[in-house]
Amino acid sequence: MDKVLSKVRNHIMQGWPSARNLPEEVKLFVSKREELPMEDDVILWGSRVVIPDNMEMRTRILEDLHSTHPGIVKMNALVRSYVWWPGINKELEQQVRSCPSCQLIQHSPVAAQIHPWEFPEKPWSRIHCDYASLDEENLLIVVDAHSKWIEAIRVRHTTSAATVRALRRLFATHGLPETVVIDNGTQFVSEEFARFLNSNNICHIQTSPKHPSSNGLAKRDVQMVKAV
């Protein structure tokens, strides 16, 4: 374990002092101090392994995750399943942007035309949902297909339970939609999420894994939120 993670480990075991008394490299962990368990002397953030400040190790991990050229969105999903270190999102985005193969694919024409969604007759009758990562935080993006109103909700974890809690609060404000359009993220295809929608008589439409652009309304606004 490197020097920074050794200090983090001591604070996990003995308690965290005031942030003012911490070195800058350790302050990067303060916002996650309540979510840093240890298992077999390995520091985790949730279920993700915290990787030491070792450039060779981190580069090798990013190269392994990028071996099939999955693109930024899928690499973010892979990262959320396995590893974390401060600044990892920016590093993996740079990895994709500097990859010639990924840039070639990104600018390729769409293979098949997607049938456009019908315009809903009233607000909040059909909403589109997706997740985004911004500055090491997770955002649940919800877009009303009628008004194009965007809700960006901060969540600690992108689990089905966290998604249900966020949507329940949102529905308490705006009312229940008739239809929810989702992609194939694990939080959206779980039994728990389906049970929540079914119990509220909400129809849910799952976009094709081969055509993520069919949930393009949410995908577009994810990029818009990131650009703000």
Confidence check: pLDDT of 12 > 50: yes
**pTM for this model (two decimals):** 0.46
pLDDT tens-place string over residues 101-139: 766 655 555 554 555 678 888 999 999 998 888 777 888
Average pLDDT of the chain is: 80
d(CA 225, CA 220): 9
pLDDT at 215 over 70: no
* Cα 118 from Cα 27, distance rounded (Å): 49
pLDDT of residue 165: 95
pLDDT single digits (tens) 175-214 = 999 999 988 888 988 999 999 999 999 998 887 654 444 4
Q: So what's the pLDDT on residue 173?
A: 92
- The three-point CA angle 16-22-23 to 5° equals 145
Confidence check: pLDDT of 92 > 60: yes
Residue 100's nearest CA partner among 69, 76, 77, 78 is 69
pLDDT value for 127: 93
Q: Say how far apart CA 65 and CA 93 lie, in whole Å.
A: 12
Structural domains of the chain sorted by starting position, each given as residue range(s) with its CATH number in brackets: 3-106 (1.10.340.70), 126-227 (3.30.420.10)
pLDDT value, residue 20: 82
How much is the pLDDT for 177? Answer: 94
51 within 8 A of 43, measured Cβ to Cβ: no
